[in-house]
Structure 1
Amino acid sequence: MSHEKLPIVLTGVSSGIGARTAETLARRGVPLIGIDRNPPSEFSGTFVQADLSSQAGVEAAAAAVAAAARDGIAGLANIAGVPGTAPWRTVLAVNVFGVRGLVRALAPLLQEGGAVVNLASSVAVNWRDVKEKCSAFALAADQASALDSMADDEEVTGESYLFSKQCVRVLTEHLAAELLPQRIRVNSVSPGPVATPILEDFKKDHGRDKVEGAGALLGRFGEPDDIASVIDFLLRPESGWVNGSDIRVDGGLGAYRGSGLAALAG
């Protein structure tokens, strides 16, 4: 069966970037399977209600996808995520192990030439500085033990969202290499601050002045469409030579901060 007729699986379809990505794909006629903890108000496709905060929840979601897509799937977009205002164990379970678990569970369904897109974050720009630590955690064989090992690490428990997205960057590279023999591409997208229902959570987690200052500098916050269009591109065959990469979609915020101009503006 051609890729055009195979579904793409999306998580987090009930709101924000996930909902807008689903709309974007549906407009071009892509069959969809959506996963979320809460049912969407509108969704064009097969919906699977699942909680990705546990291994059992991930396995149940994968089983439901397999039942709905017996001929395979063309892609997977891991968009569901939990902000840092949630308990740190939940943040790491969903944002790290939910991503890893779903990719590996659905890999047998992904057809050659298929694509995976993971939602990272522009806050994880320095992920290579902690790559060894992220790798040990994100690639640990036992999820529960890995979470327990972080209980006394205040850098992780106090900055769980940051650490989780650094782990997503590590996972993206690792899974791209792991799935290369199957000719499955794995990339990530790193948004800056986006006007979604959890923007207020990011202000609380990362600092209200910092987040609102970023919006003022850029002239606006990002919109879900800004991110959805890039996810859509990475799922298309036209991006077939892009693999193991991250695309930062932040309106130039990272470039400004990295240029030194922010310090000069003081």
Structure 2
Amino acid sequence: MFAGQRIVVTGAASGIGAAAAAAFSASGAEVIGVDRNEPESFNGEFIRADLSSPQGVSAAAGQVRGTIHGLANIAGVPGTAPFELVLGVNVLGLRDLSEALLPQIADGGFITNLASSVAAGWAERKPQLASFVSTADWAEALAAVQGDPEVTQNSYRFSKEAVRLLTELQASRNLGRIRVNSVSPGPVETPILADFKRDHGVDKVEGAVALLGRAGSVQDIAAVVTFLASAPAGWINGTDIRVDGGLAAHRGSQQLLAVSS
């Protein structure tokens, strides 16, 4: 499916990133993995880089040589980390790496960003999100939200809401050249699932998993990431694909029933 293509995958050392890298590789792609942690083994080229600063992003981008056919921005930090780190990696690092590599992406290529089901209400905060993602200077962008507890105490949600907006902006700016989409997982069995439980509440996360029958697997998400990069998805652009086992649909239905009863 991806024979002859070179695809960059961030967060490639573990979790969804590792699964996406493996899926692309199994489908014939030459994978360039990026992560701050080096995996024990990697089928492709691996770049060790920290995407939590402008310097780290620049160093990573500088090591990607030649034409690439796509970028899967999977690297992420949970909300248990300091808000500056969460917003740096999840939003500003993703934004700047995409912009740095954009000239190298072949026409007809793709960018796929990892968002989250917790970002469902992102459109309600469009003006604030737009201000944040459009501020080029990292220190200035972080300083602007530092005094807002809605951001600093819910940094993961805000970061993924920003990814939703960035996805639409990136798609609109590159119409006819590349496609840009995002994937929004529900609870997924990854090495940082425990962090999500601490951030979003153990009862809430475990209750969701019990309701669905299981947590999502990294392969569940990687399958959608690779599909969005494929030719059959060629008319999907500027879109978010929710991969949550039906959790959001259930919660929305329950809210509707509660209001109408």
Q: What CA distance in whole angstroms lies between the structure 2 residues aligned with 1:13 and 1:137?
A: 26
Stretches of structure 1 lacking an aligned partner (at least 5 in a row): none
Displacement of 1:261 in angstroms is 5.8
Q: Which runs of 4+ in 1 moved over 6 A?
A: none
Question: 2:74, 2:113 within 8 Å by CA — same for their partners in 1?
Answer: yes
The alignment partner of 1:83 has SS state of: coil
For residue 176 of structure 1, the aligned residue among 171, 174, 177 is 171
The alignment partner of 1:101 has SS state of: helix
Matches within 5 A, 1:1-266: 4-66=3-65, 70=66, 72-181=67-176, 183-260=177-254
Stretches of structure 2 lacking an aligned partner (at least 5 in a row): none
Structure-2-length-normalised TM-score? 0.96
- Aligned residues, how many? 257
Question: 1:123, 1:162 within 8 Å by CA — same for their partners in 2?
Answer: yes
Q: What CA distance in whole angstroms lies between the structure 1 residues aligned with 2:55 and 2:4?
A: 29
Q: What CA distance in whole angstroms lies between the structure 2 residues aligned with 1:110 and 1:52?
A: 19
Question: 2:3, 2:27 within 8 Å by CA — same for their partners in 1?
Answer: no
The alignment partner of 2:33 has SS state of: strand
Q: Percent identity?
A: 56
Question: 1:187, 1:242 within 8 Å by CA — same for their partners in 2?
Answer: yes
Q: What CA distance in whole angstroms lies between the structure 2 residues aligned with 1:12 and 1:40?
A: 10
The alignment partner of 1:260 has SS state of: helix
Q: What CA distance in whole angstroms lies between the structure 2 residues aligned with 1:109 and 1:207?
A: 41
Question: 1:256, 1:262 within 8 Å by CA — same for their partners in 2?
Answer: no
Question: 1:80, 1:95 within 8 Å by CA — same for their partners in 2?
Answer: yes
Q: What CA distance in whole angstroms lies between the structure 2 residues aligned with 1:94 and 1:18?
A: 14
